[in-house]
Amino acid sequence: MFRYFLSFSYLGSRFAGCQFQPDNITVQGVLEFSLVLFLYLFISLFSSVLGMVFMSPLDKEPRLRISSRTDSGVHALMNTATFDVELEKEYEPNYLKAAINTLLCKLEMEIRILDCRTVSLGFDARRHARERTYLYRLAVLKDSFDEDEDYVANSPEHQLPILEYQRVWALRSNFDIQRFCSAAEAFVGWHNFASFMSKSKNRQGELVVDSERTVKHIGVKLGRPLLDRADCPFSDRFNFFDVTFISKSFLYNQIRRMMACLVATATNRMEVKDIKWLLENPDPANYSKFNLRKAPSAGLFLKNIHYDESDFLNPNPFYSIHAERDTSNAINCDRADSDDNDE
């Protein structure tokens, strides 16, 4: 048996999320289907008909072990996964990468394999991740294009360049970046983020206790449009900001709820002391007291997942059992298996 490690990117707009769901199109489902097609085509071309009957992977398809289970509409510049194949032949990783990308193009799916390599049978893409980096993009309408007398016609969504559609959160001009940065500082460090998670109990009615996280860094810098302003004049109507979050793991919807609080503070609908109160009083029910919705998923990108290079071939610890397909909600997992459940 061989274990392969994949890094891949995708646009999340058309997917019901990354994690497999039986009745929806997901990133994991498409990738597993592509692997089945690849293995089936290989066997049909190079094995006998009898061999096809007994060796076909269609009844024993590869199961991806996804590192970060992003939510519907969330994009990924890089996500990772591992999968096992029980065939005698070891596929050359670059050949496997090219074959899967060819199938993804034929299927017209917005997923691309970035890298493929063989790894130790004890390596786990989720559990060996050292830290994860998320990027959230904001587009703030400039004052001169935000006239009160025509509030609806001048809404930021109506003026957003079409290329930015479902790639950024468009906001009105009443946005104070200094208040935003001050609020971001309140989240950095170790906290109990229960107020920023979607649920407090698992399917058995047991309290979820793994809501403690350490946010290592929140960075805010000027961003840029996806298309140069010279080619897309509408981009010049906005100031773009890139907000970066770094932690070993995040709770389900944690970043989107944090972003909602940051934007509410920047638009004078919330104060930094309110954020501190939520952190000091960790309870999922407290978030609703501020009448805030989650930040849109469209502006969120999983940017990077960091590993110790030595873990690929000599993993520490060594996880000998590769998980079966996991269809549970992320917050229903126990602490040992809840490394990244976000967004």
pLDDT digits (tens, 9 = 90+) for 76-96: 999 999 999 877 777 899 999
Q: What is the predicted pLDDT for the residue at 343? A: 65
SS3 156: helix
Global confidence as pTM: 0.88
Does residue 136 fall inside a structural domain?
yes
Residue 203 sits in a domain whose CATH number is 3.30.70.660
Report residue 209: phi and psi, to 5°.
-115, 0
Determine whether 229 is exposed, middle or buried from the number of CB atoms within 10 Å of its CB (0-12, 13-18, 19+): middle
What single-letter amino acid sits at 141?
A: L
Q: Would you put residue 239 in left (φ > 0), alpha (ψ -120 to 50) or beta?
A: beta
Report residue 172: phi and psi, to 5°.
-75, 175
Return the structure tokens found at 49: 């008909």
Q: Find the domain containing 124 and state its range.
A: 2-128+308-329
User: Does residue 263 share a domain with residue 143?
Assistant: yes
- At 268-323, the pLDDT tens digits run 999 999 999 999 999 888 999 999 999 999 999 999 999 999 999 999 989 876 65
Residue 53 sits in a domain whose CATH number is 3.30.70.580
User: Does residue 85 share a domain with residue 24?
Assistant: yes
In the predicted structure, residue 54 carries a pLDDT above the cut 80: no
CB of 228 closer than 8 Å to CB of 209: no
In the predicted structure, residue 146 carries a pLDDT above the cut 90: no
Does residue 340 fall inside a structural domain?
no
In the predicted structure, residue 337 carries a pLDDT above the cut 70: no
User: Does residue 50 share a domain with residue 142?
Assistant: no
User: Does residue 149 share a domain with residue 100?
Assistant: no
In the predicted structure, residue 58 carries a pLDDT above the cut 60: no
Q: How far apart are CA 59 and CA 43, in angstroms?
A: 14
Average pLDDT over residues 5-26: 94
- Total domains, the chain: 2
Q: Half-sphere exposure of residue 113, counting CA atoms within 13 Å on the CB side?
A: 27
Q: How far apart are CA 218 and CA 263, in angstroms?
A: 14
